[in-house]
Homo-oligomer: A and B are copies of this chain.
Amino acid sequence: SQPQAKSKKTDFTPLQKNRILSLLGPGEMISFAKEKRSFAELESTLTLQRKKDIREMYEDSRENLLGKLERTITEFLVDMGFLEVKSPILIPFEYMERMGVGEDKKLSEQIFRVGDNMCLRPMLAPGLYNHLRKFDNVLPDPVRIFEIGPCYRKESDGNSHLEEFTMLNFCQMGSNCTRDELEYLIKELLDFLGIEFEIVADSCMVYGDTIDVMHKKMELSSAVVGPVPMDMDWGVNKPWIGAGFGLERLLKAKHDFKNIKRAARSESYYNGISINL
């Protein structure tokens, strides 16, 4: 039966396999070796199913998964006493130098430069540092703020990286900035979202020691218990804690997407469903 199985497999070219995989529903699987239908038959069946999915979804809610997750998290954090911040996405490149990105060769090569002096933010930390400094002695202690929005890094290899993704970063400055409090906040958020996780220790060039939050083998978040030496360059001189999450990774974990592209800002998928129909 080996030769027979082989001849079955050659019915699908690599291009055809990719097309079929892209047309599967978010949780669906296929065994090409066992598949009896021709490419044309399979493609047209799946295309019809996906059209039906999109129509049902349209009747059902019409909300975009990424937009909706941003709203869900925003409501949750605002209720927890965090202030919603929206800072610039196009930022001075000088901020990156002040973040010590120059010393992290990998991250410094990932920055999208814009003109001579600007870049697309790869993280939310600079904007949050500036807000923490300005809100100190203005907001009640501890100061609690967060931002959700687009970030950019030149790294799109594998199933968990996008060049354009959406970061959530919450932080607290002043009283009670302990590792326990940080882990409590992470647990509250991920329990609320219904996403399983595990906390492990890690270290990174920019912040020194960090806590990583994993879902199976995928990093959901890196979190930091400050203070860190860099705080001085941002005019921040109180203890702080903070965590950064990728929203597309949260969606990938939640909906069991094989590839993070299904969760991205995209012209190929809508809410995890192919729209190349």
A64 to B: closest C-beta gap in Å: 4
Q: Is A71 an interface residue, CB under 8 A from the partner?
A: yes
Give a binary string over A146-180; 1 marks a CB under 8 Å from any B CB, 0 the rest. Answer: 00001010000000000110000000000000000
Residues of B within 8 A of A270 (CB): 85, 131
Contact A78 B54, beta carbon cutoff 8 Å: no
How far, in angstroms, from A86 to B150 measured CA to CA in the complex? Answer: 11
Contact B64 A266, beta carbon cutoff 8 Å: no
Contact B138 A90, beta carbon cutoff 8 Å: no
> Quick one: which of B89, B112, B114, B265 contacts A86, CB cutoff 8 A?
B265
Q: For the side of the interface on A, what is the size category?
A: 35 or more
Residues of B within 8 A of A137 (CB): 51
How far, in angstroms, from A276 to B130 measured CA to CA in the complex? Answer: 10
Q: Is A135 an interface residue, CB under 8 A from the partner?
A: yes
Residues of B within 8 A of A139 (CB): 54-55, 58
Q: Is A208 an interface residue, CB under 8 A from the partner?
A: no
A51 to B: closest C-beta gap in Å: 5
> Quick one: which of B85, B276, B277 contacts A64, CB cutoff 8 A?
B85
How far, in angstroms, from A140 to B163 measured CA to CA in the complex? Answer: 33
Residues of B within 8 A of A63 (CB): 74, 78, 84
Contact B54 A138, beta carbon cutoff 8 Å: yes
Contact B58 A83, beta carbon cutoff 8 Å: yes
Name the CB-closest residue of B to A51. Answer: B138
Contact B140 A275, beta carbon cutoff 8 Å: no
Q: Is A235 an interface residue, CB under 8 A from the partner?
A: no
Contact A112 B114, beta carbon cutoff 8 Å: yes
A270 to B: closest C-beta gap in Å: 8
Contact A112 B115, beta carbon cutoff 8 Å: yes
Interface residues of A in 210-258 (CB under 8 A from B): none
13 extra A-B contacts, CB within 8 A, seeds A67-B74, A89-B150 = A51-B137, A55-B139, A58-B83, A62-B82, A62-B83, A85-B270, A87-B265, A88-B164, A88-B265, A88-B267, A90-B112, A114-B120, A131-B270
Q: Is A134 an interface residue, CB under 8 A from the partner?
A: yes
Interface residues of A in 43-82 (CB under 8 A from B): 51, 54-55, 58, 61-64, 66-67, 71, 74, 78, 81-82
Known contacts: A84-B64, A114-B120. The answer to whether A90 contacts B163 by CB under 8 A is: yes
